[in-house]
């Protein structure tokens, strides 16, 4: 059986997932056969060009014409476009992969999760960092008790692409379209990894800050639009089991291009990871005087057997191949709503934390995640 895939969105994430779909048969021979069936967007000329480059059979300008005809629907549009097409696809019984955060607000995420529960088909929230081999290795260490009782989780995600106040306005600067700024765009990844590696978030105390209040409109001289989302956030949190946590993200961290760093400290050891060195995991074991750097590229390491000989490192784009492999395998097997993780339930759990951090900033106090 060949799975037909429809993809809404053809820019950054559209390219990343199209690349992953193209690589699947080359490196994962047990992956299901996939047809890049239809690419969906609004600009017909740009859409046609992207479909040609990405290897899609045809294009469409209305997602409603697509969601019932494909075996899997990928919603890679801006956050405010996640809910309605995804819900329509699920009501048609079509499995859905949605970009993160799950929606631009909690109401949209709740409706998406409810639709997923009713549809009982696989869904995916695109937290691709769960599929970094080094982080899978870290998960195994924690599950095996190598770090003992977990006491601290620290996660930060730093970028600098908005440092220049003349950087043009985009939908990511709009509360209506994005829901939040660095919090949802970057913090969602950190919060998901905290849940994946350690446990659920139970309460938070957060702070959000906007440094530049308006930005120029590209192509329109002397025109600006307001920035209505955060440029940076930080939060204290308590995870299940009393684990202390801190989360932080910024688009104004000069000198940091895509620096997602995780640190976990336990009673018998610690680990740390940076996305900018994603093939490495630093591990401190009980009794050692310092961290050892483990190069996670051996054939027995998660996913690595599908790629290159030891030491021939992987990159950011490979996480999407792993993600697509797992999701499409679940779709191909006719799996249930629980057949793939992270699913829409996981996306909703993260969205609840995002909403609690925003509420905490407004109220100036700790807020439970519920």
Residues 343-362 have pLDDT tens digits of 999 999 999 999 999 999 99
Helix extents (H) in the chain: 12-27, 44-54, 83-91, 106-119, 133-143, 175-178, 182, 188-197, 316-332, 344-363
Over residues 315-328, the pLDDT tens digits come to: 999 999 999 999 99
The 3-state secondary structure of 328-367 reads HHHHHCCCCCCCCCCCHHHHHHHHHHHHHHHHHHHHCCCE
Provide the percentage of residues in the chain whose pLDDT is more than 70: 100
User: Facing residues of 188 across strands?
Assistant: none
Contact criterion met (CB below 8 Å) for 89 and 96: yes
* 287 has pLDDT over 80: no
Query: What pLDDT does residue 339 have?
Result: 82
At 67-98, the pLDDT tens digits run: 999 999 999 999 999 999 999 999 999 999 99
Q: Is 15 exposed, middle or buried (0-12, 13-18, 19+ CB in 10 A)?
A: middle
Average pLDDT over residues 195-201: 98
pLDDT of residue 87: 98
Burial 16-45, CB ≥16 within 10 A → b, else e: bbbbbbebbeebbeebbebebbbbbbeeee
- Please check the confidence at residue 261 and state whether its pLDDT lies above 90: yes
Confidence at 248, pLDDT banded by 50, 70, 90? very high
pLDDT at residue 338 tops 90: no
**pLDDT over threshold 80, residue 335:** no
- At 122, the pLDDT band (50, 70, 90 cuts) reads very high
| Mean pLDDT across 170-192 | 97
pLDDT score at 288: 83
What are the chain's domains? 2-128+336-342 (3.40.50.720), 133-277+279-314 (3.30.360.10)
Q: What mean pLDDT is reported for the chain?
A: 97
Could you identify the residue written with the tokens 């905290």? Answer: 194
Question: What gap in Å lies between CA 248 and CA 250, rounded to an integer?
Answer: 7
Q: Model-level pTM?
A: 0.97
Do residues 176 and 214 lie in contact, with contact meaning Cβ atoms separated by under 8 Å?
no
């Amino acid at each position: 059986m060949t799975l037909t895939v429809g993809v809404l969105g053809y820019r950054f994430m559209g390219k990343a997932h199209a690349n992953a779909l193209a690589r699947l048969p080359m490196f994962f021979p047990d992956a299901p056969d996939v047809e890049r069936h239809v690419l969906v967007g609004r600009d017909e000329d740009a859409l046609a060009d992207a479909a040609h480059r990405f290897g899609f059979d045809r294009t469409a300008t209305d997602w409603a014409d697509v969601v019932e005809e494909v075996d899997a629907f990928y919603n890679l549009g801006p956050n405010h476009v996640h809910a309605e097409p995804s819900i329509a696809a699920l009501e048609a019984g079509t499995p859905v992969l949605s970009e993160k955060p799950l929606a631009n607000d909690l109401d949209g995420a709740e409706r998406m999760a409810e639709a997923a529960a009713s549809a009982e088909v696989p869904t995916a929230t695109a937290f691709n960092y769960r599929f970094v081999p080094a982080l899978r290795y870290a998960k195994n260490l924690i599950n095996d008790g190598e770090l003992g009782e977990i006491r601290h989780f620290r996660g930060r995600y730093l970028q600098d692409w908005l440092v220049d106040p003349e950087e043009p306005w985009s939908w990511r600067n709009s509360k209506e379209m994005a829901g939040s700024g660095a919090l949802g765009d970057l913090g969602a990844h950190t919060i998901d990894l905290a849940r994946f590696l350690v446990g659920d978030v139970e309460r938070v105390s957060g702070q959000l800050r906007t440094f530049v209040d308006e930005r120029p409109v590209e192509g329109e001289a002397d025109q600006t639009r307001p920035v209505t989302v955060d440029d940076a956030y930080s939060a204290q949190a308590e995870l299940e089991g009393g684990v202390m946590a801190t989360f932080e993200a910024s688009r104004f961290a000069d000198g940091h291009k895509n620096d997602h760093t995780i640190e976990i400290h336990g009673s018998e050891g610690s680990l740390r990871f940076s996305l900018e060195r994603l093939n490495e995991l630093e591990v401190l074991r009980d009794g050692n005087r310092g961290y050892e750097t483990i190069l996670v590229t051996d054939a027995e390491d998660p996913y690595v057997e599908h790629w290159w000989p030891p030491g021939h490192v992987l990159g950011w784009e490979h996480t999407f191949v792993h993600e697509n492999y797992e999701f499409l395998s679940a779709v191909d097997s006719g799996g249930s709503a629980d057949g793939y993780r992270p699913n829409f339930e996981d996306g909703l759990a993260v969205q609840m934390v995002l909403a609690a951090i925003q509420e905490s900033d407004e109220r100036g106090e700790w807020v439970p995640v519920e």
